[in-house]
Amino acid sequence: MESIQSALKQWTKDQRIEERLESAKKSLLADPVVQKALEGKRINDDILDQGLIKLYEFQKERNNCEQCPGLAACPNMMKGYQPEMIVARRTIDLEYHSCSLKKKEERAKQQRQLIKSLYVPKDILDATFDGLDLDRDREEASRKALAFAVNARPGEDGQGLYFYGRFGVGKTHLMGAVANELRERAIDSYIVYTPDFFREMKQSIGDGTFQEKLDAVKRTQVLILDDIGAETISGWIRDDVLGAILQHRMLEKLPTLFTSNYDYDELEEHLAYSERGGIEELKAKRIMERIKHFTTFVQVEGANRRSR
């Protein structure tokens, strides 16, 4: 392949064009992004001259990535993809791979396809601590939620939170803010509406996705179980789903957060009943011991926000 520079020299003898080309080449090769890509690669002047267009493309795309405006505003030719420079058959070429934001979006899409009950209202997904209504009644709960979000260390510290309060006081909104703050720290979290999740897990036995769904929830870095206690309980849900999730997360030191209209004692009483009418206090107590030991109880007070 004829190099760009040799072709241009045949088209014109204008010394100024040659000087500008040489200046542009020096500027390109002085770019730290380009220098790092070339480091350790066996490239002579001929290969370099023939690959200048690829290098310019690499420089532009990678510098876009260095100043990333977010996935939605990605200016690269292929949104969400970044180039890697390779040398193949004595030629500079580029391979494109998903960037970290694109991979995260793809993971989130796969998660939503796998677990439908991950869906929560948009206003919850968009919740931030800056946008919370921080009245006195919610001050302590907001402070503890923020402290968890900025200090969480999944895999090292499995301590979570248990948010208790009446219907509509903003517990789920706080959890949305926690999830968004964790995302800023590149910590994966699931926020699951518990009644829908348990129904979905029961249905998933028939379509063969039960274990896959269970493993996904067990292993996520931070799990938020919203409105626990609102579900219809059964021994199977309590022991084989909730119990299995909490046991794994306890052993792996993965924090779990809860919201509920029940306090600890009320939830234990709820878990003791099954849909068949039996009472299994010991099994309920075993679940509650895990919850109590690995959460801090936080009462969320205030007026019903939904009635405004």
How confident is the model over 92-114, as a mean pLDDT? 77
Does residue 241 carry a pLDDT above 90? Answer: yes
pLDDT of residue 9: 54
103 three-class SS: helix
Closest by CA to 148, choosing from 107, 189, 118, 193, is: 189
How confident is the model over 26-42, as a mean pLDDT? 85
Lowest mean pLDDT among 48-52, 76-80, 293-297: 48-52
Q: Indicate the average pLDDT of the chain.
A: 84
Does residue 14 carry a pLDDT above 90? Answer: no
pLDDT band of residue 290 (cuts 50, 70, 90) is: very high
Tell me which architecture the domain covering 115-307 has in CATH. 3-Layer(aba) Sandwich (3.40)
Q: Tens of pLDDT along 46-71?
A: 888 888 888 888 889 888 888 888 88
pTM above 0.75, yes or no: no
Closest by CA to 267, choosing from 235, 298, 233, is: 233
CB neighbour class for 114 (10 Å; exposed up to 12, middle 13-18, buried from 19): middle
Higher-pLDDT residue of 6 and 133 is 133
Q: Tens of pLDDT along 165-203?
A: 887 778 888 988 898 888 888 888 888 899 999 998 988
Residue with tokens 């402290």: 147
Q: Can you give the residue ranges of every domain in the chain?
A: 4-99, 115-307
pLDDT of residue 10: 53
Rounded Cα distance, 257 and 225, in Å: 6
Name the E strands within 56-104.
81-87, 92-98
